[in-house]
Structures are given as structure tokens and as C-alpha cells.
């Protein structure tokens, strides 16, 4: 009787790992060095000086958390935080709703849609400060003159001079410039949807409204996430349009955090405003993390 010896099963050969080409490091290192020198190092230095009494030059001493405690109790700082986050939240909604509706229209079967797409992206390439000055003239001169001519009392005075309404003008102008960027992203998302999806919807008897909310929106949800995160990040740093429109006024009603920090630097409150900037950075990071956690699993495009 012959005995059979079992041979040990050999493990499959390990896949050859691809070596990283040196040329990739040639492209990576300059970007890392520039980012470190231009952003990381100044940021660390700024955080360090937020714990001192430095005015930007000369001698300084450590002051601990004095600047942070003062910033937490400063009405001007708290007001700028409240305005900035309220403005950013409102503008994100306005921009994304308008951009999505325009994208749906510009990807439908309409005539001259290619030319219209080119027209709608023009505001994106114009400087924000130039746009602000143009709209400032419209809000301060053209609209009041039109309101007087038509006898519309609400338009006879400039909205920029109203503490309760000036922020609306800032939202309008900021959205006017930001919509084209979001529009391009939404157009890319809508064009990536296969036509068979809508053919199946037609066969099932879905109306255009049902296709919009049950097919289109779920399929471009990843693009919505991208626009919301990018938009909120950009609007939190609002500066040039606000400077051109209201310069933070009337009073300090429309002063953003960026304006507060920069004006503090110019007046010698270097360490104090670095504490404000550090607080703003931490809050922005927390919001970004919360956005990513809330959209996890739905952000793939």
C-alpha cells in the first residue's frame, strides 16, 4: 500500500511593488517646501506670538492666555464672528441653489447653451474688488435714482447705509461672483449622469420634477458636498468684496473676521489679533471636520 505525502502549499509569489519614480519627488518637494515656508512656518510663528504681548516689532514678553481671554469677551470680535458665519451660511445656500438650477437649465435641450455657459462664467474671472466698486455705485446711485423715478420708497435710499440690510447686498455681490465656479462643477456632475437613467425614469412614468429630486439630486450629491465645503471655506475668508462695498459699515455691522484681524495688525494689536486668527483657524477646522463626517459615504463623485 503506497503512502501519499502531502506537499506544503506554497504561498503565492508576492507582487512586485512598484517603485516610486524619482521624477515624482522632483515635483513634490518644491511644492512642500513652498507650502511650508509660506504657510506652515508663518502660521506656527503667529500662534507662538499670540501668547505674547508683541506689537509686531521690538521686544515682547509672554502673556499666557491673556489675549485669548480678552478676545472671548470683546464685543467687536464676537460680532465679527457672528456676522462672518451667518454670511457664509447664507451665501452657501444662495450660491448652491442658484448654481444648481442654472446647471440644470444649461445642460437641458435649449438653444445657445454653449454660448450661455461662456457668458455665465464671466464674473468668475473679474477681480472681487472691481466687482464690489461697480455694485457699490449701483446700490448707492442707480437703484436710489430708479426708486425715486418709480416712486418706490424702499429703493430711494441705499441699502448699504442700512445696518440691518447691508449684509444682503454683500451676499448678492458675493454670490454673483461665486455662482460661476459652482456652476461649472454642477455642469460636470450633470453631464456625468448616463442618459439611460432618465430613459428608465421615463419608462417608469416619473415626471420631470420627480426625476430632478429622485434621480438628479442623489446622483450629484458628491458635487453638492464639494461645492458646500469649498464655498463655506471661501466665504469665511471674505474680505475684498466687503471692503469695496461697505468697508465694514455702517459702523461695524458688516465687519468680517478677516477685516477685524487685518485692521488690528495695522493698529499695532499684532499678538491680540493673532489670538483671534488662531481661534478662527480652530473653529474653521472643527467645521470642516464636521462637514466631512456628516457627508462621509456620500462625497464620492
* Sequence ranges of the domains in the chain: 74-294
pLDDT of residue 1 exceeding 50: no
Long-range CB pairs of 276-284 (<8 Å, 24+ gap) are 276/71, 276/77, 277/46, 277/50, 278/46, 278/47, 278/50, 278/68, 279/68, 279/71, 280/81, 280/236, 281/43, 283/81, 284/233, 284/236
- State how far the alpha carbon of 151 is from the alpha carbons of 145, 146, 158, 193, 233, in Å: 10, 8, 15, 49, 41
Q: What dotted CATH number matches 74-294? A: 1.10.3720.10
pLDDT for 139-151, tens place per residue? Answer: 999 888 888 888 8
The helix (run of H) or strand (run of E) holding residue 106 is helix 75-106
Query: What is the SS3 assignment for 10?
Result: coil
**DSSP track, 160-193:** GG-TTTHHHHHHHHHHHHHHHHHHHHHHHHHHTS
Q: What pLDDT is recorded for position 8?
A: 52
Q: What is the pTM of this model?
A: 0.82
pLDDT for 200-254, tens place per residue? Answer: 888 888 888 888 888 888 889 889 988 998 899 899 988 999 999 998 888 889 9
The helix (run of H) or strand (run of E) holding residue 32 is helix 22-35
Amino acid at each position: 500500500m503506497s503512502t501519499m505525502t502531502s506537499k506544503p502549499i506554497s504561498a503565492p509569489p508576492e507582487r512586485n511593488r512598484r517603485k516610486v519614480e524619482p521624477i515624482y519627488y522632483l515635483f513634490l518637494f518644491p511644492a512642500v517646501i513652498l507650502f511650508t515656508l509660506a504657510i506652515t512656518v508663518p502660521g506656527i510663528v503667529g500662534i507662538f506670538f499670540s501668547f505674547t504681548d508683541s506689537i509686531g516689532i521690538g521686544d515682547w514678553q509672554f502673556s499666557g492666555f491673556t489675549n485669548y481671554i480678552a478676545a472671548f469677551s470683546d464685543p467687536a470680535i464676537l460680532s465679527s464672528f457672528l456676522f462672518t458665519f451667518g454670511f457664509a451660511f447664507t451665501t452657501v445656500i444662495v450660491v448652491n441653489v442658484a448654481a444648481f438650477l442654472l446647471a440644470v437649465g444649461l445642460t437641458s435641450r435649449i438653444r445657445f447653451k454653449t454660448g450661455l455657459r461662456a457668458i455665465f462664467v464671466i464674473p468668475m474671472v473679474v477681480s472681487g474688488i472691481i466687482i464690489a466698486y461697480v455694485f457699490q455705485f449701483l446700490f448707492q446711485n442707480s437703484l436710489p435714482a430708479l426708486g425715486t423715478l418709480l416712486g418706490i420708497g424702499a429703493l430711494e435710499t441705499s441699502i448699504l447705509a442700512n445696518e440691518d440690510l447691508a449684509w444682503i447686498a454683500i451676499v448678492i455681490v458675493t454670490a454673483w461672483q461665486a455662482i460661476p465656479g459652482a456652476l461649472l462643477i454642477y455642469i460636470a456632475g450633470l453631464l456625468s449622469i448616463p442618459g439611460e437613467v432618465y430613459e428608465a425614469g421615463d419608462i417608469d412614468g416619473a415626471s420631470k420634477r420627480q426625476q430632478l429630486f429622485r434621480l438628479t439630486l442623489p446622483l450629484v450629491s458628491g458635487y453638492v458636498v464639494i461645492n458646500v465645503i469649498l464655498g463655506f471655506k471661501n466665504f469665511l475668508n471674505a474680505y475684498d468684496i466687503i471692503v469695496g462695498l461697505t468697508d465694514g459699515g455702517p459702523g461695524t455691522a458688516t465687519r468680517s473676521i478677516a477685516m477685524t484681524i487685518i485692521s488690528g495688525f495695522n493698529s499695532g494689536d499684532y499678538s491680540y489679533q493673532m489670538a483671534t486668527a488662531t481661534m478662527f483657524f480652530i473653529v474653521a477646522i472643527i467645521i470642516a471636520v464636521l462637514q466631512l463626517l456628516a457627508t462621509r459615504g456620500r462625497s464620492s463623485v
